[in-house]
Amino acid sequence: MTEPNETRPLRVLVVDDSAYNRQTITSMLESREGVEVIARATNGKEALKLAFDLEPDIITLDLEMPEMDGFSFLRLLMSRRPIPVLVISGYAQRDNVFRALELGALDFIAKPRRHISPDIRNIEDELSNKIAMVRRLHAVRLKQRAESLAAQGARPKGSSGSEGEDEVSLSGEPASVVVGIGSSTGGPPAIQQLLASLPADLPAAILISQHMPARFTKAFAARLDRVVDLHVVEAAEGQPVCQGVVYIVPGSSNLEVESSKGGGSVIHIVEPQPTRAGALPLTPSADHMLKSLSSTYGRRLVAVILTGMGSDGTNGTIAARRQGATVLVEDPSTAVMPGMPHSAMEAGTVDRAVPLEKLGEAIVEAVERHKRN
């Protein structure tokens, strides 16, 4: 595809089977300077032809459509001409969102309900911000990541991590080493690929701060738990930090850990504090989590920054390095969105920058080294 540049408008294809939805999304986009809606489609079949003929910079996509649904559209688009796709989906379709991300979608926006209504304006700023980030995107990595996940295949197992289950009462050996991972745009498929490359007997706990709305992280944890060898849960107040468990920080919250009297540590879920301007910061925050992990685990922390826009995680890696932790980042040249790992590298906190395909090996090496020391 032709890379977008700063001198011409971002060209958007809007795909939705609802005429009202198409018009509302178009209106929101075209109210922003530097954005042009070049076409609209009612189903995946029509959208494919328009995508191949017009080569838009980005596509907004509804997943539930007649003739050809969003999943079939994504498979064909990514196999023939990878173009960034932003899914706009209701909260009820949480699992569908993660399936779309695995097929190569860039990101998603949660709309209040299945059919757009006047309160859709609540997502206008988020839509504008996520459309704009395509100028800094490595689009070809979306296709490569989808191919990597397809090659791994699903590895179903007897999962205890169903979305409705209470996971507070975890038990297991307290983790003496922890891996703290921060990610944002492009993160869910990258996290899945990374966790699938790690052994089930990894002698560490893994805590993940992925920017994601509330009500999606529990579904994300349950989906991961079904397809990777490690046990994955949504983190909850009072959980012990156990070896071999992956904890996903709840959406719209932050995570801290505190040493417990019996050894090990426990998790605290905290509400984000407004900034001086009164706005809530982006959550879950990798900075917040890594600072807490650094304070509690010190040299026994492996801090990892994956794909994402912005600089979240950089201050956390600064705290980690001060305590003697190992800091790894996904190589910015191969990340879907290089902002977060590049920011950490510019701060001088990084021990190694590693392509995602090799990052699992680097984490295992770092964990084993910290266990010995």
Question: pLDDT, tens digit, for every residue of 43-57?
Answer: 999 999 999 999 999
Quick: pLDDT tens for 290-320. 999 999 999 999 999 999 999 999 999 999 9
The DSSP output letter for 104 is: T
Residue 263: pLDDT band by 50, 70, 90 thresholds? confident
The predicted structure's pLDDT at residue 67 = 87
Domain match, 64 and 99 both = yes
In a domain, 36, yes or no: yes
Residue 133: pLDDT band by 50, 70, 90 thresholds? confident
Tell me which of 89, 148, 184, 265 is the catalytic residue: 184
312 tagged catalytic: yes
In DSSP notation, 222-270 reads HHHHHHSSSEEEE--TT-B-BTTEEEEPPTT-EEEEEE-TTSSEEEEEE
Question: What mean pLDDT value characterizes the chain?
Answer: 88
Percentage above 90 pLDDT, the chain = 65
In a domain, 141, yes or no: yes
Domain match, 223 and 357 both = yes
Domain match, 236 and 107 both = no
Domain match, 236 and 350 both = yes
Domain count, the chain: 2
95 tagged catalytic: no
CATH code for the domain of 130: 3.40.50.2300
In a domain, 1, yes or no: no
CATH code for the domain of 323: 3.40.50.180
Domain match, 361 and 214 both = yes
Query: What value does the mean pLDDT take over residues 82-109?
Result: 88
In a domain, 157, yes or no: no
Predicted confidence (pLDDT) at residue 17 exceeds the cutoff of 80: yes
Predicted confidence (pLDDT) at residue 60 exceeds the cutoff of 50: yes
Domain that holds residue 128: 10-151
In a domain, 166, yes or no: no
Unique residue bearing structure tokens 């609209």: 40
Task: Encode burial over 5-15: b for 16+ CB neighbours within 10 A, e otherwise.
Answer: eeeeebbbbbb
Domain match, 315 and 359 both = yes
The predicted structure's pLDDT at residue 279 = 65
> Residue 258's beta-bridge partner residues?
266
Domain match, 98 and 183 both = no
Predicted confidence (pLDDT) at residue 116 exceeds the cutoff of 60: no
Domain match, 70 and 192 both = no
Predicted confidence (pLDDT) at residue 188 exceeds the cutoff of 90: yes
Domain match, 138 and 221 both = no
Beta carbons within 8 Å of 216's beta carbon, 6+ residues apart: 91, 94, 97, 110, 251
The predicted structure's pLDDT at residue 161 = 44
In a domain, 16, yes or no: yes
Domain match, 113 and 27 both = yes
Query: What value does the mean pLDDT take over residues 235-264?
Result: 94
Query: What value does the mean pLDDT take over residues 70-86?
Result: 93
Tell me which of 138, 211, 288, 342 is the catalytic residue: 211
Residue 325: pLDDT band by 50, 70, 90 thresholds? very high
Higher pLDDT, 347 or 115: 347
In a domain, 275, yes or no: yes
Percentage above 70 pLDDT, the chain = 88
69 tagged catalytic: no
Of 53-62, 75-84, 122-131, which gets the smallest average pLDDT?
122-131
Residue 224: pLDDT band by 50, 70, 90 thresholds? very high
Predicted confidence (pLDDT) at residue 40 exceeds the cutoff of 80: yes
Domain match, 112 and 228 both = no
In a domain, 164, yes or no: no
Domain match, 276 and 201 both = yes
Tell me which of 312, 331, 343, 370 is the catalytic residue: 312
